[in-house]
Structure 1
């Protein structure tokens, strides 16, 4: 496991590096492969999930900055209910196409890069994220968990699907 980034430069580098690896892997995935069931989910589901989790990070950050309640992982769910949350997310995203979820992933990645670029080291790593669930994680650490960490786990899942079907 890689150590977490501790500054803006490293966060941007790991975000770009891990997204590039995932994007290259996705280039070889056709629509039929994207819908092959594996461990009760599909590549399409996983890509939509990863795009969603990057977006939920922005919700947490923006709500925390605005002094609003921050629901982690989401309103009506506790961390120990992630399986239920993710199953509900798959249902909400069921009508999205393979093209839709890929666009969502690329859009959320661009938004994450823009976020990193427009925040200083102090804003990213100077203290706990506002509204960050009463823990000591910095905004940069949350950004890394929602971006590069998810990109790596998605790539691992996709490679497993490919191995299982070749």
Structure 2
């Protein structure tokens, strides 16, 4: 699916990808949901993947709050740069090791709703005009929201399938 360029496309892509991700997980038997992935990735199970997506939602929510209040947010997070994203992702992984899958699912659904509420606040022009907001740099708010939603959900679905060794 091409990257969204309008509000309606962004909402549709986000909801479709999120729905597919949730349907895939919720259709699995409980033991499969908690199964360890095949070796080769930092995220070792479904919980790890969903916690990663949830935490990036939280980052997006924070960037938006700070940016719209007139402050340039530290991106991707305080103490990290885009070049050290792998270190940030490792920290996110560590932070959720004691949280069970059901709690991560609840958190993810709430953070998805919160990010969706941001999308709903803006027009297509406000979302997709590049450089409209100082804190988004040379890109658009919509590009950040696409990365935080549909693109991340598709990544998660693909990683889960690969990790579990399934093509379904």
Q: TM-score, normalised by structure 1?
A: 0.88
In structure 2, distance between residues paired with 1:146 and 1:34: 24
Q: Which residue of structure 2 lines up, in the alignment, with residue 17 of structure 1?
A: 16
Tell me which moved more, 38-47 or 81-90: 38-47
For residue 69 of structure 1, report the CA deviation from its aligned partner.
Answer: 2.9
For residue 40 of structure 1, report the CA deviation from its aligned partner.
Answer: 3.1
Q: Which residue of structure 2 lines up, in the alignment, with residue 6 of structure 1?
A: 5
Tell me which moved more, 25-34 or 95-104: 25-34
For residue 75 of structure 1, report the CA deviation from its aligned partner.
Answer: 0.8
For residue 35 of structure 1, report the CA deviation from its aligned partner.
Answer: 4.7
In structure 1, distance between residues paired with 2:31 and 2:67: 38
Q: Give ranges in structure 2 of 5+ residues lacking alignment.
A: none
In structure 2, distance between residues paired with 1:89 and 1:125: 29
CA RMSD of aligned residues (A): 1.7
1:1-166 superposed matches below 5 A? 2-29=1-28, 30=30, 33-38=33-38, 39-41=41-43, 42-128=45-131, 129-132=133-136, 134=137, 136-163=138-165
CA contact (8 A) 1:22 1:154 kept: yes
Q: TM-score, normalised by structure 2?
A: 0.87
CA contact (8 A) 2:66 2:72 kept: yes
For residue 68 of structure 1, report the CA deviation from its aligned partner.
Answer: 1.5
CA contact (8 A) 2:36 2:164 kept: no
